Amino acid sequence: MVELINNLVANIIFIFDRLTWFSLIDLALVTLVFFGILLLVRDTQAMVLLRGVLLLFVLVTLLSTIEAFPAFSALMNATLPALIVVIPVIFAPEIRRGLERLGRASTIRPTEAAAPRAQDTINAVVSAAVRLSSRQHGALIIMQRLDSLNQYVQSGVTLDATVTAELLLQVFYPNTPLHDGAVIIKGDRLVAAACVMPLSSSGVLVKSPERQMGLRHRAALGISEVSDAVAVVVSEETGAISVVHAGRMIRRLDAERLENILRAFFKPSRPPGRLTILLARIFPGGERKNQEKS
């Protein structure tokens, strides 16, 4: 036992003696890579798969080092290279989502989001959401920011009208031609209605103890995962109002909280720096925390 401890201490001293600034930078880069991967797969089904892969890797590594199992070690040494092909297949959606975030982050533009330019537009959205909630009329309102939503606009019916609460109420009135789908707001214009949004494949809704969240909430999460848009959802079953951004959902909002959140998104008190924009677009989780604090 004493010899084992002495060997451990000697190994630690050996490592620290050869530690340089370049070694620290190297370790920091590796840490950042793993940190970024964990952020990309956070709150998704891939997190469960990743835990399983890591546990399997640790067990296989430990068993492969035991000299009493030479056949098992040979089998593992032959099959482990196949993980180079298997892992990209298993995590294809998360890898694609991460590359999309990097692609959006590569274009750093001013923070003049293509968002409501006037308080009147935010007031119209808040008023419509509250009135729809009281009537339990389902609604999905997508508010464009920096990322273009043209491909989703083309899937709906073009309106190009000024945003008003009355127009939103009419669009989402039950059994009307445009009520089934999402409306997209760009600037102070309601660009299109009855738009088809991508459905989320993350595990956020699965983990929820409630079952009232259906396709509208999945669509809101889906568009927030592939763009920086802000989605306002009104539940048809409960009338609950939610805001979704960057794959995160804030639920049970009243008029005041909803207005404060939308103003925080579209009317920042001070423009963030270019580095802040870049980091927020790659790892949007931090921005979500700021919204929750407000």
**Whole-model pTM above 0.75?**
no
Contact 204, 222 (CB under 8 A): no
Residues 6 or more apart from 114 whose CB is under 8 A from it? 144, 145, 146, 186, 187
168 within some domain: yes
CB count within 10 Å of CB 104 equals 19
Tokens of 108: 């750093």
In a domain, 173, yes or no: yes
My answer on whether 129 and 45 are in the same domain is no
- Structural domain boundaries enclosing 51: 2-105
pLDDT of residue 128: 96
One domain for residues 149 and 289: yes
**58 and 167 share one domain:** no
- Please report which residue ranges of 82-183 form alpha helices under DSSP H: 83-90, 92-105, 119-135, 150-153, 165-171
Sort strands 182-186 and 139-143 into parallel, antiparallel or unpaired. Answer: parallel
Residue 206 is predicted with a pLDDT of 56
Output the CA angle 289-292-294, nearest 5 degrees.
Answer: 115
Q: What local confidence, expressed as pLDDT, does residue 21 receive?
A: 82
How far apart (Å, rounded) are the C-alpha atoms in residues 70 and 49? 28
Q: What is the mean pLDDT of each run of 10 residues along the chain (294 residues)?
A: 76 77 85 78 60 73 72 73 71 65 53 54 94 94 89 92 94 91 92 92 58 79 88 92 90 92 75 55 49 42
